[in-house]
Amino acid sequence: MTERPHRNFYGRLKGKPLKSSQKTYIAEDLAALSPGPVSWEDNPERAPLDVDALFGGRPLWLEVGFGGGEHLVHQAAENPDVGIIGAEPYINGVAMLLGKIRRAGVDNLAVHPGDARDLMDVLPEASVARAFLLYPDPWPKSRHHRRRFVTPEHLEPLARTLKPGAIFRVATDIEDYVRQTLEEVPKAGFDWLAEGPTDWREPWDDWIATRYEQKALREGRVPHYLTFRRQG
């Protein structure tokens, strides 16, 4: 048995009480959408997931922290030829996603309702063709910057799971998060693909604004769209 490393959830795991419909989504849909044995209780040896069996050999994408699931469902609907796994520990966001999946009728999604680090433990090396980190928790206080996703603790396992040439997209409205992203992501083995200001000021062609982006715009913050490519 592999010894479980010390990991803390730093953000919220739950918010307001779930609606009865959301409880139904979780009870009826969540288990069927599992990517496989991810948790340490179910997979103490950290055996790799069979992602080819999960999505029938389709290319695999990953969204880290999908929030309310708007972008995840949008990408699944627009790209039926890929399979996408979303990881999110906030159970209210998971419930919102499950409702959106029902309404959209997409069948190329898997959902891990927990820490993306646990999921990356069991994703095979070089198995992911694209990854998204969209409006992650900014942890604005300096003493909390180590809790951000764009640190070696997260970026190194993410880089391990990405195929050479895979695209990694980061969206944030926090300027200091942009700074840390541009400092840390290249160190983990990525190239920043921007050639001019429009490459980080304008969203991607297949972008859909999330609820977090809409809030940022209402409050006068400027979104940044950063695109990286895995080296190798």
Which of 137, 173, 199, 205 is the catalytic position? 137
Active site residue 137: yes
Which pair of structure tokens corresponds to residue 35? 């990517």
User: Which one, of 100, 99, 98, 84, lies nearest residue 134 by Cα?
Assistant: 84
User: Which one, of 93, 146, 85, lies nearest residue 112 by Cα?
Assistant: 85
Phi first, then psi: what are they for 59, rounded to 5°? -55, 145
| Cβ-based burial of 232 (10 A; exposed 0-12, middle 13-18, buried ≥19) | exposed
SS3 for 138-182 is CCCCHHHHHHCCCCHHHHHHHHHHEEEEEEEEEEECCHHHHHHHH
Catalytic residues: 137
